[in-house]
Structure 1
Amino acid sequence: MRRPGVAMAKGGGEEADSAPRRGRPRSIETTNAILESAYALMAATGLAATTIDAVARHSSVSKMTIYKWWPSREALLIDAFLHHAAQMLPLPPVSSGTPAARARRHAAAYAEALRGEFGKVQLAVISECISKTGSAELFYARYLQFRRDALVEMIAAGQKDGSVLAEGAPEDLCDAIYGGLFYRYVFGIAPITPAYARNLVDLVLRPKG
């Protein structure tokens, strides 16, 4: 399943490509410069300082080009986060082990990422969406939906081949894992570690053997 606005990149990652195809095709180098500049500014100076003007200066790309390719500042920030996440947290390929092993590895990587700037930027982007639109629907549509669908499909495959013994709906199992990690992170209930994430996957999915 491919969500609108995202093209699959080689190697299983996703690459932000949110603009409609009109006129000249995008330059990959220019797109990457914009997205990397936006993420770098978010991480270094915070969202308030990550304006279109600031991104244009940092990336040496005109504001006109940025406005042409992204419908809003929020969309740009989300796509910049997506671009970074695709490199930092690639979705596990089918060839990399059983569904449970892949889920364990991905959840552990997500837990580790939450402990650094990635977690702070993710929370800031979600907060920005909520403050501007009243919900995080934009974040879900542009970033989370595609990744959630892929993880749900992975869990369903494990249920089908018998390597995942949990009988709940794969959507609920996925949300229990990643929702649990995010809940624990947002409220600072206890430290999040990769080991905790791996144990959570085993508790929820009940992998065979």
Structure 2
Amino acid sequence: MAMAKGGGEEAGSTPRRGRPRSIETTNAILESAYALMAATGLATTTIDAVARHSSVSKMTIYKWWPSREALLIDAFLHHAAQMLPLPPASSGSPAARTRRHAAAYAEALQGEFGKVQLAVISECISKTGSAGLFYARYLQFRRDALVEIIAAGQNDGSILADGPAGDLYDAIYGSLFYRYVFGITPITPGYARSLVDLILRPKG
């Protein structure tokens, strides 16, 4: 939020013994879970509902995911990996790649993606007392990858902003999410691109 690590198991999932997962079956489960979350909300996205929608047995779902929350996060991760792929090195300078991704994220927040993300985070907090599970299974890998991009720009001199790359990432994406949650001015792709430039201070 799955295929974000290049087509392997979901981020943060624990390998289990037995028959290897079928990619087709895994995708059916994850896509069904996301479709249900987007269409009917989290309350009705139960393991029973996902099993019926995907035509996969509950036993298989419980075997592959340790909890309902883990399944919901991985379903979100799977969708996000397709909707918001991490920018490849061939797509421009570190600042341009960050700018492009932030703009896509801002646009995605305005649709069902934003609502589902907020609902999944809220579910994690209500069930476990923190958003740690969401961070471990979804955010950590994506955050690390974008922090690495920003750090590369600092190292090659194309990003002039000082300070830890992680703090710069948090300033960009934290601001976008904060404004989305509290409805502070419309979040547009143009605003996201301007925010990236304000924080990273790209050269030239």
TM-score (norm 2): 0.96
- Matching of residue 79 in structure 1 with residue 74 in structure 2: yes
Q: Secondary structure at the match of 2:139?
A: helix
CA-based RMSD: 1.4
Tell me, in whole angstroms, the C-alpha distance in 2 between the residues paired with 1:140 and 1:19. 15
- Matching of residue 61 in structure 1 with residue 56 in structure 2: yes
- Pick one of 2, 12, 16 that aligns with 2:10: 16
Q: Secondary structure at the match of 1:145?
A: helix
- Matching of residue 161 in structure 1 with residue 156 in structure 2: yes
1:145-184 alignment to 2 at 5 Å?
A: 145-184=140-179
Gaps of 5+ in 2: none
**Percent identity at matched positions?**
86
Contact 2:42 2:119 in 1 (8 A): yes
Q: Secondary structure at the match of 1:16?
A: coil
Q: Secondary structure at the match of 1:199?
A: helix
Letter in 2 for 1:189: I
Contact 2:32 2:53 in 1 (8 A): yes
Pair 27,89 (structure 1): closer, same or farther in 2 beyond 3 Å: same
- Pick one of 181, 184, 189 that aligns with 2:184: 189
Gaps of 5+ in 1: none
Contact 1:19 1:68 in 2 (8 A): no
Q: Secondary structure at the match of 2:42?
A: coil
More displaced 10-residue stretch of structure 1: 20-29 or 52-61: 20-29
Give the C-alpha shift of residue 16 in structure 1: 2.1
Give the C-alpha shift of residue 6 in structure 1: 7.3
- Matching of residue 37 in structure 1 with residue 32 in structure 2: yes
Letter in 2 for 1:16: E
Letter in 1 for 2:107: E
Q: Secondary structure at the match of 1:135?
A: coil
Match of 1:204 in 2: 199
Give the C-alpha shift of residue 8 in structure 1: 2.2
Give the C-alpha shift of residue 21 in structure 1: 3.3
- Pick one of 79, 84, 88 that aligns with 1:89: 84
- Pick one of 87, 97, 111 that aligns with 1:102: 97
Give the C-alpha shift of residue 7 in structure 1: 7.0
CA deviation string 1:96-132 (max 9, x = no partner): 1000000000000000000000000000000000000
Give the C-alpha shift of residue 19 in structure 1: 4.4
Contact 2:95 2:158 in 1 (8 A): yes
Task: State the number of aligned residues.
Answer: 202
- Pick one of 112, 116, 125 that aligns with 1:121: 116
